[in-house]
Amino acid sequence: MTGRSMEPALRAGDWIIISRLSRPPRVGEIVLVRDPRDSEHLLLKRVAAVTDGACTVVGDYPEESTDSRTFGPVQFANVLGRAVFRYGPITRMGWLW
Amino acid sequence: MLLTRLLKPSVTASAHCDLPCGVYDPEQARIEAESCYKIIEKYNASGDELFKTRAIVIKEERAELAKHHIDVLWSDYFKPEHVQKYPEITELCWKAAKQCSKVKGSLDLGEAKTLLDMIDKIADVWTKAGGPQATRVAKAAAAR
């Protein structure tokens, strides 16, 4: 991953395993979403609220984040999965929940 | 290392801050190009050396701004799906940016006119690609 908006939970250069979701995302989870403005662009953000069919996502470091405050809620169809495990760098290896 | 290569993620996700205001309009480039056009006209009509010197400096500045606005349209507004639908846009933007450099170094009114025509061609694609609705804030009826 790149960028600073999920610091300190995630840092640029982290290697992360994403698990597909078979249920709606839950508040507090870090999710991989398609940028609603550009479907080829993938973002990692934290779920702040879940409504019917969509969730509001924000960065942990809001000053450095472009998120639902800019592009609105993300439809569940654009939530590709949930960050579950960081496997790199080795010193920061660990579960993400 | 082979192991590192195997483990290295294949997809990069971002947690970035970008600030795309989302307002893109070729008119911005056109206004700067119109300035170049009018400045060249005024330059040719003037006998005042000081005025003529200032005209050159300002025209070069405006040509550079026109180039910047074309570059922003090209790099920030036009997306792969636009290019797929209107493949001519790549060359239009590229040639118009080059034409800005020509206008920057020239006092030929014809070059400035060519730049205006090129920007209008970009504007046609921008309009066809839904630019006016997608990027501009509508004016209140009373302000029209």
User: For residue B16, is it left (φ>0), alpha (ψ between -120 and 50) or beta?
Assistant: beta
What are the residues of chain A with a beta carbon less than 8 Å away from any beta carbon of chain B?
Answer: 1-6, 10, 12, 15-16, 32, 37-38, 40-45, 59, 63-66, 87-88
pLDDT in tens, chain B (144 residues): 677 788 888 888 888 666 567 789 999 999 999 999 999 999 999 999 999 999 999 999 999 999 999 998 998 888 888 999 999 999 999 999 999 999 999 999 999 999 999 999 999 999 999 888 888 888 887 666
Nearest CA in chain B to A87: B7
ipTM: 0.78
Q: Give the count of beta carbons closer than 10 Å to the beta carbon of residue B137.
A: 6
Query: And the tokens for A29?
Result: 């989870």
Length of chain B in terms of residues written:
144
A7 pLDDT exceeds 80? Answer: yes
| CA-based nearest distance B86→chain A, Å | 18
Query: B48 Cβ partners below 8 Å, 6+ apart?
Result: none
Measure the CA angle with vertex A33, ends A69 and A93; round to 5°: 110
Residues of chain A with C-beta less than 8 angstroms from the C-beta of B10: none
Q: How far is B121 from chain A (nearest CA, A)?
A: 25
- SS3 state of residue A10: coil
Question: Concatenated DSSP letters for A17-82?
Answer: EEE--SS---TT-EEEEEETTEEEEEEEEEEEEEETTEEEEE-SSGGG--SHHHH--EEGGGEEEE
Nearest to A68 by CA among A49, A95, A89, A86: A49
What is the three-class DSSP state of A84? strand
> pTM score, two decimals?
0.56
**Is B18 touching A (CB cutoff 8 A)?**
yes
Give the C-alpha separation, B122 to B67, whole Å: 13
Contact A2 B16 (CB under 8 A): yes
- B33-56 pLDDT, tens digit each: 999 999 999 999 999 999 999 999
Q: Nearest-CA distance from A53 to chain B in Å?
A: 23
Q: Which residues in chain A have Cβ-Cβ distances shorter than 8 Å to B20?
A: 37, 66
Per DSSP, B61 falls in state H
Phi first, then psi, for residue A49 (nearest 5°) are -160, 150
- Asked whether the beta carbons of residue B9 and residue A15 sit closer than 8 angstroms, the reply is yes
Least CB–CB distance from A42: residue in B7, B11, B19: B11
Q: Does B15 touch chain A (CB under 8 A)?
A: yes
